[in-house]
Amino acid sequence: MGDILLDFRPKITYANIKSLKKVANSLNIGQQLSVTIERTEAHRAGRIMQVLKNNNYDYCTKGGHKNEFYIIGTRYK
């Protein structure tokens, strides 16, 4: 499986978090997962980062040029 890109715009929902848990658990060591959310939802990014942390990902965040906000994680274990 290659790197995965998920788009949780316009709002982060329970279904988004559920699918993130499933995908995050399925990736191999070294694979990357990128989640795009609306900049206005950035205050809710903690839910996404907690899923990544629980599944052994190193992650960082990055603001986009418009209304995007990215959370990028790489599985390390």
DSSP assignments along 24-46, one per residue = HHHPPTT-EEEEEEEGGGGGGHH
CATH number of the domain to which 60 belongs: 3.40.50.150
Provide the number of structural domains found in the chain: 1
Domain with 20, as residue range(s), is 4-75
- pLDDT tens sequence across 21-65: 999 999 999 999 999 999 999 999 999 999 999 999 999 999 988
Given a cut of 90, whether residue 66 has pLDDT beyond it is: no
Q: 42: alpha, beta or left, given left = phi > 0 and alpha = psi -120 to 50?
A: alpha
Residue 2: per-residue pLDDT: 67
Q: The pTM is what? A: 0.92
- Burial of residue 69 (CB within 10 Å: 0-12, 13-18, 19+) is buried
pLDDT at residue 1, rounded to an integer: 54
